[in-house]
Amino acid sequence: MITFEDVTKRYRDGTVAVDDLSMEVPTGAITVFVGPSGCGKTTSLRMINRMIDATSGRITLDGQDVREIDPATLRRGIGYVIQQAGLFPHRKIVDNVATVPYLLGWNKKKARARAMELLELVGLDPGLARRYPFQLSGGQQQRVGVARALAADPPVLLMDEPFSAVDPIVRASLQDELLRLQSELRKTIVFVTHDIDEAVKLGDTVAVLRVGGRLAQMAGPATLLTEPADDFVREFLGRDRGIRRLSFISAKEVRLSPAPSDLETDENGGPLGWRTADGLAAYGTFNPETDSLRVALDAALLSPNGTAVAVDEEGRVRGVAGRDAIDELLAEYAPPAAGPARGGASGSGGGSSSGAGDSEGAPA
Amino acid sequence: MTEEPLVRWDWIARNWANGGPTAISALLENHVVMAFLPVLFGLVVALPLGLACVRWRWLYQPTVALMNVTYSLPSLVLFSIFLSITGLTRSTVVIPLTFFALAVLIPAVVDGLASVPDPVRQSAVAMGFRPVRRLLRVELPVAVPVVLAGLRVATVSSISLVSVGALIGQGGLGNLFIDGWQRQFYTPIVVGIVLIVVLAVLADGLLVLAQRLLTPWSRARRTA
């Protein structure tokens, strides 16, 4: 576990980058630091591996003050992924990945063998090992960056806006890849981003920081979306919080009805469309085992009759869920009414749950 | 007066290697040595000086200013200054040329280190490189293309500048020019020019080759 205890970073010119930050970063989970530029998120991250030293307060790693550890030794035990990958241009991919093992004094053969394992782990063709970074695409370089950070199997991984320099499609696939890796590796990951959607997608816990380096709120993404601590967090989260929160509710509990006869299926039981007078109409599907309520609702909205088609892994129809079935679950997961804890937020913190959401949706 | 041909091949044949100090081959050898020593010394001095300029930023401007002033002095003036110290020796040519080389190489080293992308430097720190190892294993290797570009300029200009030393009798192939002018005899002049150009092209080609071998990773990278 990483703990921040009253950590402040003040630069010589008086700028306060991080102001009296206290928090606990849980082991084996992804904690995202998110906030606008100037909120001290990168500074906070870099104080963990001492690329920046705190002015006051202390940061502990499994109970030990990081200031008591030699910086280079500390850093070799903490993986680091930087924006734009920061690969060494003069080294082949395999040697880039093997950087920390080399620094730890592994022999070349062992270090390279480990590097090859990691390239495979992050989903890269081993044929790329002999290439130089400039021969790879941005997305591939970023995967190499992740592989390099994992090479010596550090328990902690720091990621500093690692996916912000790649296009949205590649970014989405890198994010999915990270979640897949994390489900296998269970590292303690601190992830910095300015993109709230990325934060909500990746974080087990999200720490929202405000300009001046103060912690505005730290919570799980679903809680964050329904119960933003104040106006700043609410504004930073942006629109559609209610809809976005549905991503964190499993569609498993949606009540399924048997497929009606007007749903055409193929010989394997896969859906073809809704039979109408004008032919087959569009349909939407969701997999109750793996998808969220948001996907189920989306599937319902895609069908002319408002009915989502539930399918299994092989794409066979398992049943259907009408809007009424989805609504039942929506009601079950409605945000808590008038929580006593959120007094400060100018009226909207109280109020009936859905009402607060609605007034919030209107442009300020 | 009979028409003097531009090149008398028999003169070249007789004077290529006649064993004396004015043989063309001896002058060529002299020229090579006197052109390369300043570049070598320049590099040896420019590396630590350039590193110091990167480490202590305030050093850079005065250093470059000083080198540029030296560079702007006509080489002849520099030669005459050193003539009073080192006399009619090779040093009188090599020392000023070293200053010229420095004027090109110090900025090259500084720019080279500045060309190391910030994410590269930072990720080296974050991986756990200590400063010296980071310099030797990451920053200097990544700076090589820029330093080599400066080295090419310094080498070629050094090859051409050596000939000015002929005025004090230490000009390598430049001596052929004086000889030719004094006798209104074109052959040595042509031989001198051709050999200097060939030498410059050859040296530049070698450096390009060295760059290809040393930095296979930098090809087509600059635009990225």
Long-range contacts of A6-15 (CB under 8 A, 24+ apart): A6/A56, A6/A57, A6/A58, A7/A44, A7/A47, A7/A54, A7/A56, A7/A57, A7/A58, A7/A59, A8/A54, A8/A55, A8/A56, A8/A57, A8/A213, A9/A40, A9/A43, A9/A44, A9/A47, A9/A52, A9/A54, A9/A55, A9/A213, A10/A55
Residues paired with A64 in a beta bridge: A61
Domain identity same for A31 and A170: yes
- Contact between chains at B120 and A75 (C-beta distance less than 8 A): no
Residues of A in contact with B145 (CB under 8 A): none
How many domains does chain B fold into? Answer: 1
Domain identity same for A168 and A264: no
* Residue B66's pLDDT band (cuts 50, 70, 90): confident
The whole-number pLDDT of residue B200 equals 95
User: Minimal Cα–Cα distance from B96 to chain A, Å?
Assistant: 35
DSSP state of B87: -
User: Minimal Cα–Cα distance from A43 to chain B, Å?
Assistant: 13
Nearest to A272 by CA among A311, A221, A327: A311
Q: Which of A43, A51, A74, A90 to mutate to test the interface with B (most CBs of B within 10 A)?
A: A90
Distance CA A2, CA A192 (A): 15
For B221, nearest residue in chain A (alpha carbons): A134
Domain identity same for A194 and A279: no
Residues of B in contact with A87 (CB under 8 A): 120, 123
| Average pLDDT rounded to a whole number, residues B25-29 | 88
- Contact between chains at A86 and B130 (C-beta distance less than 8 A): no
- Identify which of A89, A99, A133 has the shortest CB distance to residue B127: A99
Q: Is A331 exposed, middle or buried (0-12, 13-18, 19+ CB in 10 A)?
A: exposed
Domain boundary among A231, A247, A263: A247
The whole-number pLDDT of residue B164 equals 84
What's the domain range around B212?
Answer: 9-218
Look up the CATH number of the domain holding residue B36: 1.10.3720.10
The whole-number pLDDT of residue A7 equals 95
Least confident span in A90-99, A211-220, B171-180, B189-198: B171-180
Number of CB pairs < 8 Å for A and B? Answer: 72
* Residue A347's pLDDT band (cuts 50, 70, 90): very low
| Residue B223 maps to a domain | no
Beta pairing, strands A56-61 & A188-193: unpaired
What are the distances in angstroms from CA B22 to CA A207, B130, B169, B173? 81, 54, 11, 9
* Residue A338's pLDDT band (cuts 50, 70, 90): low
Domain identity same for A202 and A226: yes
Beta pairing, strands A263-265 & A271-276: antiparallel
- Identify which of A72, A132, A133 has the shortest CB distance to residue B128: A72
Assess whether pLDDT exceeds 70 at residue A165: yes
Distance CA B89, CA B170 (A): 7
The whole-number pLDDT of residue B220 equals 52
| Residue B25 maps to a domain | yes
Domain identity same for A223 and A257: no
| Residue B188 maps to a domain | yes
| Residue B46 maps to a domain | yes
| Residue A349 maps to a domain | no
DSSP state of B168: G
> At which residue do the structure tokens 């998110």 appear?
A34
| Residue B135 maps to a domain | yes
How many domains does chain A fold into? Answer: 2
Domain identity same for A61 and A195: yes
What's the domain range around A95?
Answer: 2-247
Look up the CATH number of the domain holding residue A290: 3.10.580.10
The whole-number pLDDT of residue A136 equals 93
- Contact between chains at A75 and B126 (C-beta distance less than 8 A): yes
Domain boundary among A228, A247, A266: A247
| Residue B96 maps to a domain | yes
Q: Give yes or no for a contact between B70 and B38, defined as CB atoms under 8 angstroms apart.
A: no
Domain identity same for A232 and A289: no
| Residue A363 maps to a domain | no
| Interior angle at CA B84, CA B83 and CA B87, nearest 5 | 50
Assess whether pLDDT exceeds 80 at residue A196: yes
Residues of B in contact with A73 (CB under 8 A): 128
Q: Percent of chain A scored above 90 by pLDDT?
A: 56
Domain identity same for A91 and A235: yes
The whole-number pLDDT of residue B219 equals 66
The whole-number pLDDT of residue A285 equals 87
- Contact between chains at A103 and B128 (C-beta distance less than 8 A): yes
User: Minimal Cα–Cα distance from A318 to chain B, Å?
Assistant: 50
- The rounded Cα A28 to chain-centroid distance in angstroms is 14
| Residue B2 maps to a domain | no
The whole-number pLDDT of residue A264 equals 80
Which residues of chain A have a Cβ shorter than 8 Å from any chain B Cβ?
A: 49, 51, 71-76, 78, 80, 82-91, 99-100, 103, 132-134, 145, 148, 158
- Contact between chains at B217 and A90 (C-beta distance less than 8 A): yes
| Average pLDDT rounded to a whole number, residues A253-280 | 83
User: Minimal Cα–Cα distance from A185 to chain B, Å?
Assistant: 20
- Contact between chains at A76 and B142 (C-beta distance less than 8 A): no
- Contact between chains at B215 and A90 (C-beta distance less than 8 A): yes
Assess whether pLDDT exceeds 60 at residue B167: yes
**Does the interface predicted TM-score (ipTM) exceed 0.90?**
no
Assess whether pLDDT exceeds 90 at residue B141: yes
Q: Which of A47, A76, A88 to mutate to test the interface with B (most CBs of B within 10 A)?
A: A88
Amino acid in position B17:
A
Domain identity same for A186 and A266: no
Least confident span in A159-163, A327-331, B205-209: A327-331
Distance CA B44, CA B36 (A): 12
The side-by-side arrangement of strands in the sheet containing A285-286 is A285-286, A308-311, A317-321
The stretches of B56-185 forming alpha helices (DSSP H) are 60-72, 75-86, 91-114, 118-127, 131-134, 140-161, 174-183
User: Minimal Cα–Cα distance from A332 to chain B, Å?
Assistant: 46
For A73, nearest residue in chain B (alpha carbons): B128
3-state secondary structure chain A: CEEEEEEEEECCCCCEEEEEEEEEECCCCEEEEECCCCCCHHHHHHHHCCCCCCCEEEEEECCEEHHHCCHHHHHHCEEEECCCCCCCCCCCHHHHHCHHHHHCCCCHHHHHHHHHHHHHHCCCCHHHHHCCHHHCCHHHHHHHHHHHHHCCCCCEEEEECCCCCCCHHHHHHHHHHHHHHHHHHCCEEEEEECCHHHHHHHCCEEEEEECCCEEEEEECHHHHHHCCCCHHHHHHHCCCHHHHHHHHCEHHHCCCECCCCCEEECCCCCEEEEEECCEEECCCEECCCCCEHHHHHHHHHHCCCCCEEEECCCCCEEEEECHHHHHHHHHHCCCCCCCCCCCCCCCCCCCCHHHHHHHHHCCC
| Residue B141 maps to a domain | yes
Q: First vs last Cα of chain B: how many Å apart? A: 65
Domain identity same for A140 and A234: yes
Which residues of chain B have a Cβ shorter than 8 Å from any chain A Cβ?
A: 117, 119-120, 122-130, 138, 141-142, 144, 215-218, 220-221, 224
Assess whether pLDDT exceeds 50 at residue B96: yes
| Residue A356 maps to a domain | no
